[in-house]
Chains A and B, each alone.
Chain A
Amino acid sequence: MTLLVSVFSAIIFTVLWYKDAPKGKMLYIVPCFLFWGASIMWFVDAIFEYIELGAEEYFSPAPADMLNDLFLGLSVTALGLIIWLAALIIKDPEGKVKTSISKRKKKK
Chain B
Amino acid sequence: MACFIVPGTEAIVVTAAVAVLKAKESKAAQLNTGKNVESKLSSAVQKLTWLAGLLWGGVILLAFEHLWHGEVVPFPPFLTAMADPAETAEMLHEMMTVGVTMAVLVTLVWAAGVAVSHVIMSRKTSETAEDNA
Pick from B53, B55, B68: contact of A72, CB under 8 Å: B68
Q: How far is the CB of A77 from chain B (nearest CB, A)?
A: 9
If A29-B53, A33-B53 touch, whether A41 touches B58 (CB-CB below 8 Å) is: yes
User: Which chain A residues (14-66) contact chain B, with CB distance < 8 Å?
Assistant: 29-30, 33-45, 47-48
- Determine if A35 and B57 form an interchain contact, defined as CB atoms under 8 angstroms apart: yes
A102 contacts B by Cβ under 8 Å: no
Main secondary structure of the interface of A (DSSP, over half): helix
Residue of A nearest to B68 (CB): A72
Size of interface on A: residues with Cβ below 8 Å to B = 25
- In the complex with contacts A72-B68, A75-B68, A44-B60 CB distance below 8 A: no
Closest partner residue, chain B, to A43 (CB atom): B105
Q: Beyond A41-B4, A41-B102, A44-B105, is A79–B61 a contact (Cβ under 8 Å)? A: yes
Q: How many A-B residue pairs have CB under 8 A?
A: 74
Give min CB distance, B117 to chain A, whole Å.
13
Contact A40 B105 (CB under 8 A): yes
For B98, list chain A residues within 8 Å (CB).
44-45, 48
Smallest CB separation, B78 vs chain A (Å)? 19
The residue on B at minimum CB distance from A73 is B65
Which of B58, B65, B68 contacts A37, CB < 8 Å?
B58
Interface residues of B in 79-121 (CB under 8 A from A): 97-98, 101-102, 105-106, 109
- Which one of B50, B55, B59, B101 contacts A44 once the chains associate, using CB atoms below 8 Å? B101
> Known contacts A45-B98, A76-B65; can you find 12 more A-B pairs with CB under 8 A?
A33-B53, A33-B57, A34-B57, A37-B56, A37-B106, A38-B61, A40-B106, A41-B106, A44-B101, A72-B68, A76-B61, A79-B64
